[in-house]
Structure 1
Amino acid sequence: MTTPDTEALRLLVLVGDLGSIGAAAAELHISQPSASKRLSRLERQLALDLVQRTRQGCTLTPSGVMVRDWARQVLVHLDGLMTGVRALRAQHQARLRVAASMTVAEYLAPRWISRLRGTMPDTQLELDVANSLAVAEAVRHGHADLGFIETPVPPDGVSVRHVTRDRMVVVAPPDHPWARRTRPLSPAELAATPLIVREDGSGTRETLYRALADVGAAPVTPLLELHSTTAVRNSVVAGAGPAVLSVLAVATDLAEGRLIDVPVDGLDLRRPLHAVWRAGLHLTGPAAALLAIAMRT
């Protein structure tokens, strides 16, 4: 005996529930003659009379009732199987749009994304690099599924999760006068010195300005305003002037002597790094997986 067609079993269940082959056929979007042929084929396969046809409609025979009840159980499990398969396929073929501030995008996100690729290789991933303000806007308006920002105070209108902490340092080229200092700078001295800074909306700039404001110092006068961490770092290495950057961006330069770390007394330049996503949404699939990876590493 061959295995019954699942659509024929579904048709039998509907005939039993609706009492009509025509109604069952309409439910499955097939013609009534086609439905009658499927039922007849099912009866031949099982060697049982399943449906009793009358002028008023049709009813199931006692054998038909038993087969219908068994078929209903089979279809419930089959539907559960297909739902799970579709969810699994969607997970592996998902598209993930990530927006990250420049420090995160350049020094942390590549490692996170590499680990995500190892567990979800079919995920289509887009990484948009912008300053923290633009990242928050992208998440808020649904242009990114998950964002990473550097601002000390998370923005409104998004869900927020603390990921890790970062530390910023004052850096200068080795021939800068600060390299010969024997005592740390004061916040007032730092604030009075024109610095190479990032643009408005950058988490790096906001962290510096907020730290100075917390100790009563004035905002820094920009010597040069640039739109990427790499551009600021390159300008300092080239001797254009000092800057305040994430230690992630200058660790190699400090170790190899291309830059010096200038101590500052009484100025807290630590900052949190946060993940953000659209308020009210629950992260699932690749977005949830990437957040978990970021928090672990």
Structure 2
Amino acid sequence: MTRRWPDLVVLDLLIGVDEQGSLSAAARKVGMAQPNASRAIKDLERQFGTPLLRRHPRGATLTPHGTVLAHWARRVLAETTQLLEVAQSLQSERSATLTVGASMTVAEHLMPRWLGALRGARPEVNIHLQVHNSVRVAELVLDGTCDVGFVESPTVPSGLHTSTVARDRLVVVAAPSHPWARRRLPVTVAELAATRLVVREPGSGTRTTLDRALQEYERPAPLL
């Protein structure tokens, strides 16, 4: 006997003959045309190296060997059914899990309210939040680690679908003792570019936004 896997539909056909008492009825049960069913059983007999059916004018019955193999075929199909049910449950479990990536600013100021609203609307969804800078969030969405990401970067890598969900505004803050705290006129772009600032790390969306806004100027190294 050649070592190849039997067709599960043909095993179901064999079981059908045992239950229905005829090959034609078994073929209808599995949705197979009668000639194809007859060829399939003959192919299975060649594969197993033993007759499986006794054909007679009223229908067909299983041979003793066919009865034994039908018993094992039932077990195989029962295990296969369980396999499909487990696969379905895993698919459902995955679809009910959402991994969200968020940049640090978004995670701190916006995600608590957003995730609370999502949990109220869809309590069955398991939510996992990962907090990184904007560049890292984009990388995690690209490689499939995160299902969706929220960043405040002015640009994102190609290959990502983007949608604006909110708008933010960057402002300059200074200590009360700083000269800018006492002046009435706005700080100019040139003054901002010439001043050492405390800024976020490279990869942060706010840092990228600032760098792009001041890219035409020579700038000193940041304080931090």
By the TM > 0.5 criterion, same fold?
yes
Q: Secondary structure at the match of 1:147?
A: strand
Q: Secondary structure at the match of 2:186?
A: coil
Percent identity for Structure 1 against Structure 2: 49
**Structure 2 residue aligned with 1:118:** 120
Tell me which of 140, 152, 155 is aligned to 1:153.
155
- Partner Cα distance (1:138, 1:91) in 2: 21
Q: 1:202 to 1:130 in 2, by over 3 A?
A: same
**Structure 1 residue aligned with 2:100:** 98
**What runs of 5+ residues in structure 1 fail to find an aligned partner?**
1-10, 28-52, 59-85, 225-297
**Structure 2 residue aligned with 1:107:** 109
Tell me which of 184, 196, 210 is aligned to 1:194.
196
Q: Secondary structure at the match of 1:166?
A: coil
Q: TM-score, normalised by structure 2?
A: 0.60
Q: Deviations over 1:171-229 (max 9, x none)?
A: 1122222111121111111111111111111100000111112xx323452101xxxxx
Q: 1:116 to 1:220 in 2, by over 3 A?
A: farther
Tell me which of 157, 163, 166 is aligned to 1:164.
166
**Structure 2 residue aligned with 1:56:** 59
Q: Per residue, is there more strand in 1 or in 2?
A: 1
Find the structure with the greater CA-based Rg. 2
- Partner Cα distance (1:219, 1:113) in 2: 39
**Structure 2 residue aligned with 1:221:** 221
- Partner Cα distance (2:108, 2:97) in 1: 21
Task: Give 1:156 shift.
Answer: 1.2
Structure 1 segments, 4+ long, off by >6 Å, are none
Q: 1:187 to 1:156 in 2, by over 3 A?
A: same
- Partner Cα distance (2:113, 2:94) in 1: 20
Cα pair 2:197 2:222 within 8 Å, conserved:
yes
- Partner Cα distance (1:148, 1:54) in 2: 71
- Partner Cα distance (2:92, 2:219) in 1: 49
Q: Which has the higher contact order (CA 8 A, sep 6+)?
A: 1
In structure 2, give the amino acid aligned to 1:190. L
- Partner Cα distance (2:58, 2:24) in 1: 12
Cα pair 2:136 2:203 within 8 Å, conserved:
yes
Cα pair 1:20 1:57 within 8 Å, conserved:
no
**Structure 2 residue aligned with 1:19:** 24
Q: Deviations over 1:93-141 (max 9, x none)?
A: 7111000011111111111100100111121111011111000000000
In structure 2, give the amino acid aligned to 1:19. S
Cα pair 1:209 1:219 within 8 Å, conserved:
no
- Partner Cα distance (1:119, 1:160) in 2: 23
In structure 1, give the amino acid aligned to 2:223. L
Q: Secondary structure at the match of 1:170?
A: coil
In structure 2, give the amino acid aligned to 1:209. D
In structure 1, give the amino acid aligned to 2:24. G
- Partner Cα distance (1:116, 1:54) in 2: 66
**Structure 2 residue aligned with 1:183:** 185
**Structure 2 residue aligned with 1:69:** none
Count of aligned pairs between the two proteins: 158
**Structure 2 residue aligned with 1:132:** 134
Cα pair 2:195 2:219 within 8 Å, conserved:
no
RMSD: 3.5
Task: Give 1:56 shift.
Answer: 3.1
Q: Secondary structure at the match of 1:154?
A: coil
**What runs of 5+ residues in structure 2 fail to find an aligned partner?**
1-15, 33-55, 62-87
